[in-house]
Amino acid sequence: MSQRVNPPYGEPGGEFAQRREQLRQASVLPNIDFRSPDSLTPNPRNPRTHSRRQIPHIAESIKAFGHLVPILIDEKGVILAGHGRLAAANLLGLRTVPTVMVSGLSEVQKRAFMIADNRLAEKAGWDKEILEIELQGLVTMGFEVEVTGFEVPEVDLVLDAAA
């Protein structure tokens, strides 16, 4: 059983619930809908690729943490973001996957979003000191650090550089 944070805001009719309903009605707050992977269509214009080696890594992450990041789809079920997560879900044999339908984007906006969603994430950096602390902590706790997307030699390089 999970603990509730700020219970008054989560109560039916409370301030948070009212604001959430306003956002939902304005189509700003997305609904997560669980769909069959077979009902989704990979976007033929998706420029992002995933290696055969990467898909099992994504699958391991889903197994370790759950399918926390929904697949974004348009009104026709065409994927805008999450092609790798879909491939990993298929590898795991999942019968449903979380999706969020994005509506109101033009075809040009959809195409641009697919690029921006991937490219903007690539441009992020790492705080090497915090990364070293977090990786060391996971290793010390016996966590399978490969599930984070870092391979053991990469973790070794980060930890050795900090030593």
Its pTM stands at 0.75
Give the right CATH number for 29-124 from 3.90.1530.10, 3.20.130.10, 3.40.720.10, 2.40.50.140: 3.90.1530.10
Rounded-to-integer distance, Cα 140 and Cα 65, Å: 19
Domain coordinates in residue numbering, the chain: 29-124, 125-163
pLDDT, residue 8, reads: 43
Q: How far is CA 85 from CA 12, 41, 52, 106, in A?
A: 33, 13, 13, 24
Q: Which helix H or strand E contains 16, and what residues bound it? A: helix 15-25
Q: How far is CA 108 from CA 80, 112, 113, 114, in A?
A: 12, 6, 9, 10
| pLDDT tens digit sequence for 106-138 | 999 999 999 999 898 888 889 999 999 999 999
Higher pLDDT, 17 or 50: 50
pLDDT, residue 72, reads: 95
| Strand 79-81 with 97-101, pairing | unpaired
| pLDDT tens digit sequence for 75-112 | 999 999 999 999 999 999 999 999 999 888 899 999 99
Start-to-end Cα distance in the chain: 41
pLDDT, residue 159, reads: 87
pLDDT, residue 122, reads: 84
Q: What percent of the chain shows pLDDT beyond 90?
A: 55
Averaged pLDDT for residues 26-54: 86
